[in-house]
């Protein structure tokens, strides 16, 4: 398909050039490559950084997830919207904002010691309250609080001192305080709103203040681009770049106007994504501080998410939600210190790395690369030797990053002609040297050479992720789509189906299991089953019902557990390339969730 698109594009380009009276291909090309060069230049530090701190801090931190004695279920910074708190009432929180324990050096020190290279803080969240001194609106931390202090000045100085890129979050579309901002329909009449006025009178001037008064800003992090037009998104990006040409703009500025792509909150993609992207993630279930939220991710989970995201080519922006007093919660501080310990030993396998040469994810962990190096980020420490299939590059040396001496590990490499398989075997110590992820560095010559096809793994399982499925559409109306995580959404039409091509080295009989995802919507999580589906492989068919036979979640899909359904068994007789099709016979859609396929797994029986 890709080549068809390219041919069409080339044809279009030729057509356009032929039509125009004075074709100026040279000029067009120059200006296009200049824009790309500027973008590359801007993104240089960010591509090397890989790990940043997100800070959500505002009036909602004072409310701490509670309003009039009642605990609110939504994310803490959404309390004003959730309770439809009138502007005048919410503004009284400003009178209580006096963070006597705030210390910029402490915060930045926590980020630096964790190995984070950038810090992005809420200059203005959806509640519309500016956490910086603003001349444009008095609804800000200096003018409206008893503190009368601008924390962004301190943070900017502390970041400069510690070599951390200082960045701002700014809610450019939603503003529940401004009469013309998006989102507040309890104080204001939606039909009377003039978004462009808000955009011109508040957004652009405040963004200018942020880019003028706080030194070099690494990144402007915009969010929820509801209602903002393509012209406005582009204008805002140009506005940022005009004031500070080196400031990056994130994807949620909207309408494709950003310098890189933002994944969904806490959503990790199902394989390598060869673009610039980032996952913003929470440490518990909120961004802004909530005193009743104790659902902390473990350090182990966080480090695993980090290596997985970096191995897939992304950045990890990990959030803390300081209290109204200005204190980062102790569970966050403890975890960040532990992450920092891990980074001191293993940071070389994170910073300035490129993604895994294998496009798919591994159950055992992840892979990152650097020129001449492959880092195996081992999560499941093997009982015996570690085996990797499909690496063609010769490995000159292997050692554990946790071993300061870099003692060479015993390795063997061979090509199994019968199975047409490259096998790397590494002898490892019996016990993992690190509690979260242990890293093996492999030294190779040049770029890694690998077999990139989906393939059976050394434990003989075969995983067919939605992320790599060929999608076969049918009919009109809403089509099934793969989301960022590689989960099928909007799959309601039984005539749409998926297929995969993969390499089998050890044929036999396999149990066929479907993993379907739960869906999170507002306060509840739900799942829909009862679909009848058919799996066809090598002229054989297994048909069954998608039923709930248990849930499965790991560090990659913590918030969206998979539901396991065994369909039956299937036999693959010969090694080689295999084609598998997954075709619904009937899809249930009463709950409007449908068939949310995440992956098909083939597990050897016997």
With a CB cutoff of 8 Å and minimum separation 6, the contacts of 37 are: none
Q: Which is nearer to ligand H79, 224 or 234 (CB)?
A: 224
To ligand H79, the closest distance from the beta carbon of 171 in angstroms equals 8
Q: Residues 221-240: x/- map of binding to ligand H79 (CB under 6 A)?
A: --xx----------------
Which residue do the tokens 């990139």 mark? 452
User: How far apart are alpha carbons 233 and 253 in whole angstroms?
Assistant: 6
Map the footprint of ligand H79 across residues 531-590, applying CB under 6 A.
Answer: none
Q: Which stretch binds ligand H79 (CB under 6 A): 6-14, 70-78, 235-243, 472-480?
A: 70-78
Q: Figure out which of the listed residues 75, 110, 469, 480 binds ligand H79, where binding follows CB under 6 A.
A: 75
Task: Select 78 or 214, whichever has its Cβ closest to ligand H79.
Answer: 78
Report d(CA 347, CA 417) in Å as an integer.
38
CA distances (Å), 168 to each of 123, 221, 480, in order? 6, 6, 36
By beta-carbon proximity to ligand H79, the closer residue of 314 and 465 is: 314
Min dist. Cβ of residue 411 to ligand H79 (A) = 43
Cα(596)–Cα(486) distance, integer angstroms:
10
- Cα separation, 566 vs 552, in Å, equals 13
Query: Could you tell me if 139 and 193 are in contact, meaning their C-beta atoms sit under 8 angstroms apart?
Result: no
Neighbours of 420 (CB within 10 A): 12
Q: List the one residue from 46, 49, 58, 77 that touches ligand H79 (CB under 6 A).
A: 77
Q: Are 360 and 370 in contact (CB under 8 A)?
A: no
- Pick left, alpha or beta for residue 533 (phi over 0 → left; psi -120 to 50 → alpha; otherwise beta): beta
Among 51, 78, 260, 362, binds ligand H79 (CB under 6 A): 78
Q: Give every CB contact of residue 148 below 8 A, 6+ residues apart in sequence.
A: 142
Q: Is 214 left (phi over 0), alpha (psi -120 to 50) or beta?
A: alpha
Would you say 247 or 266 has its CB closer to ligand H79? 266
Q: Tokens in use for 465?
A: 């992720």
Q: Inter-axis angle of helices 230-243 and 204-212, to 10 degrees? A: 20
Give the sign of the dihedral formed by CA 185, CA 190, CA 196, CA 202. Answer: negative
Instruction: Please identify, among the stretches 74-82, 228-236, 381-389, 397-405, the one whose residues bind ligand H79 according to the rule CB under 6 A.
Output: 74-82
Tokens of 575: 């090694």
Q: Which is nearer to ligand H79, 31 or 521 (CB)?
A: 521
Q: Which two tokens stand for residue 551?
A: 């849930």
Tell which one of 27, 522, 574, 606 touches ligand H79 (CB under 6 A): 522
Q: How far is the CB of 153 from ligand H79 (least distance, A)?
A: 23
CB of 202 to ligand H79, least distance (A): 18
Give 481's Cβ-side CA count (13 Å radius). Answer: 6
Helix (H) or strand (E) holding 235: helix 230-243
603 forms bridges with which residues in the sheet?
Answer: 511
Count residues contacting ligand H79 (CB under 6 A)? 10
Q: Which residue is nearest to ligand H79 (CB)?
A: 74
Length of the chain measured in residues: 606
To ligand H79, the closest distance from the beta carbon of 287 in angstroms equals 4
Among 265, 403, 443, 506, binds ligand H79 (CB under 6 A): 265
Asked if residue 524 binds ligand H79 (CB under 6 A), the reply is no
CB of 518 to ligand H79, least distance (A): 15
Closer residue to ligand H79, CB minimum distance, 65 or 507: 65
- Is residue 287 near ligand H79 by the rule CB under 6 A? yes
* Structure tokens belonging to residue 146: 């008893």
Helix axes 104-113, 330-346, angle to 10 degrees: 40
Segment interacting with ligand H79 (CB under 6 A) among 40-48, 72-80, 96-104, 413-421: 72-80
**Least Å distance between CB 523 and ligand H79?**
7
Cβ atoms 257, 233 nearer than 8 A = yes
Listed in sequence order, the residues at least 6 apart from 124 whose beta carbon sits closer than 8 Å to its beta carbon are 130, 131, 132, 169, 170, 171, 175, 206
**In the complex, what is the shortest distance from the CB of residue 224 to ligand H79, in angstroms, rounded to a whole number?**
5
Q: Does 76 bind ligand H79 (CB under 6 A)?
A: no
Q: Give the nearest distance from C-beta 61 to ligand H79 in angstroms.
A: 13
**Closer residue to ligand H79 (CB): 186 or 445:** 186
Q: Please say which residue, 77 or 150, places its beta carbon nearer to ligand H79.
A: 77
Nearer to ligand H79, 279 or 515 (CB): 279
Please say which residue, 74 or 147, places its beta carbon nearer to ligand H79: 74
| Whole-number Å distance between alpha carbons of 471 and 473 | 6
Give, in order, the Cα–Cα distances in Å from 320 to each of 23, 206, 326, 468: 53, 24, 11, 33
Nearer to ligand H79 among residue 280 and residue 448 (C-beta): 280
- Please tell me whether residue 183 binds ligand H79 under the rule CB under 6 A: no
Name which of 478, 477, 475 is nearest 488 in CA terms.
Answer: 478
To ligand H79, the closest distance from the beta carbon of 85 in angstroms equals 14
List Cα–Cα distances, 201 to 134, 179, 205, 207, in angstroms. Answer: 13, 12, 7, 11
By CB under 6 A, tell whether 74 contacts ligand H79.
Answer: yes
Cα separation, 539 vs 108, whole angstroms:
60
- Work out how close the CB of 375 gets to ligand H79 at its nearest, in angstroms, rounded to a whole number: 29
Among 271, 280, 322, 465, binds ligand H79 (CB under 6 A): 280
Tokens of residue 438, six digits:
């242990």
Instruction: Kindly indicate which of the ranges 71-79, 186-194, 299-307, 509-517 contains the residues binding ligand H79, using the contact rule CB under 6 A.
Output: 71-79
Give the binding range for ligand H79 (CB under 6 A) out of 73-81, 153-161, 341-349, 562-570: 73-81
Dig out the tokens for 445 from the structure. Answer: 């010559």
Of 466 and 561, the one with the shorter C-beta distance to ligand H79 is 561
Instruction: State in angstroms the smallest separation of the CB of 75 from ligand H79.
Output: 5
Interface positions with ligand H79 (CB under 6 A): 74-75, 77-78, 223-224, 265, 280, 287, 522
């Amino acid at each position: 398909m890709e080549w068809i698109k390219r041919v069409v594009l080339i044809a279009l380009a030729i057509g356009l050039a032929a039509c125009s009276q004075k074709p100026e291909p040279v000029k067009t090309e120059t200006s296009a490559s200049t824009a790309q060069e500027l973008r590359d230049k801007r993104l240089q530090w960010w591509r090397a950084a890989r790990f940043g701190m997100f800070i959500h801090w505002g009036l909602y931190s004072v409310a701490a997830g509670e309003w009039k004695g009642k605990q609110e279920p939504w994310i803490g910074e959404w309390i004003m919207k959730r309770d439809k708190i009138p502007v005048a009432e919410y503004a009284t929180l400003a009178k209580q904002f006096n963070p006597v324990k705030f210390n910029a050096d402490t915060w930045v020190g926590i980020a630096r010691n964790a190995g984070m290279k950038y810090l992005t803080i809420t200059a203005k969240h959806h509640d519309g309250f500016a956490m910086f001194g603003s001349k444009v609106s008095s609804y800000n931390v200096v003018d409206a609080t008893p503190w009368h202090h601008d924390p962004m000045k301190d943070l900017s100085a502390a970041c400069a001192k510690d070599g951390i890129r200082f960045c701002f979050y700014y809610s450019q579309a939603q503003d529940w305080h401004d009469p013309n901002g998006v989102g507040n329909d309890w104080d204001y009449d939606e039909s009377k709103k003039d978004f462009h006025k808000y955009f011109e009178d508040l957004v652009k001037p405040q963004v200018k203040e942020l880019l003028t008064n706080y030194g070099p800003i690494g990144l402007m992090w915009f969010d929820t681009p509801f209602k903002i037009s393509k012209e406005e998104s582009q204008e805002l990006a140009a506005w940022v770049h005009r004031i500070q040409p080196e400031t990056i703009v994130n994807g949620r500025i909207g309408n494709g106007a950003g310098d890189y792509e933002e994944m969904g909150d806490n959503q990790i993609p199902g394989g390598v994504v060869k673009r610039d992207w980032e996952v913003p993630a929470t440490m518990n279930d909120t961004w802004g501080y909530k005193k009743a939220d104790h659902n902390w991710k473990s350090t182990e989970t966080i480090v695993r998410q980090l290596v997985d995201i970096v191995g897939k080519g992304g950045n990890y922006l990990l959030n803390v939600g300081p209290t109204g007093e200005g204190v980062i919660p102790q569970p966050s501080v403890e975890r960040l210190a532990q992450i920092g310990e891990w980074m001191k030993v293993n940071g070389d396998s994170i910073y300035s790395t490129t993604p895994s040469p294998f496009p798919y994810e591994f159950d055992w962990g992840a892979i990152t690369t650097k020129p001449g190096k492959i880092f195996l980020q081992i999560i499941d420490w093997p009982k015996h030797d570690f085996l990797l299939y499909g690496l063609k590059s010769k490995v000159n040396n292997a050692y554990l990053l946790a071993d300061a001496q870099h003692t060479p590990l015993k390795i063997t490499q061979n090509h199994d002609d019968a199975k047409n398989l490259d096998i790397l075997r590494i002898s490892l110590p019996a016990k993992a040297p690190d509690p979260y992820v242990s890293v093996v560095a492999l030294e190779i010559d040049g770029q890694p050479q690998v077999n990139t096809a989906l393939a059976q793994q050394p434990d003989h399982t075969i995983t067919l992720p939605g992320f790599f499925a060929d999608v076969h559409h049918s009919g009109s109306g809403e089509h099934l789509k793969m989301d960022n995580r590689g989960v099928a959404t909007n799959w309601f039409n039984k005539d749409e189906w998926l297929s995969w091509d993969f390499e089998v080295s050890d044929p036999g009989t396999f149990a066929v299991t479907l993993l379907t995802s739960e869906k999170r919507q507002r306060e509840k999580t739900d799942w829909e089953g009862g679909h009848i589906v058919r799996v066809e492989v090598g002229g054989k068919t297994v048909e069954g019902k998608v039923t709930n036979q248990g849930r499965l979640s790991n560090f990659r899909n913590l918030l969206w557990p998979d539901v396991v359904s065994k369909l039956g068994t299937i036999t693959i007789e010969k090694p080689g390339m295999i084609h598998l099709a997954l075709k619904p016979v009937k899809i249930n859609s009463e709950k409007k969730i449908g068939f949310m396929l995440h992956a098909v797994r083939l597990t050897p029986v016997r």
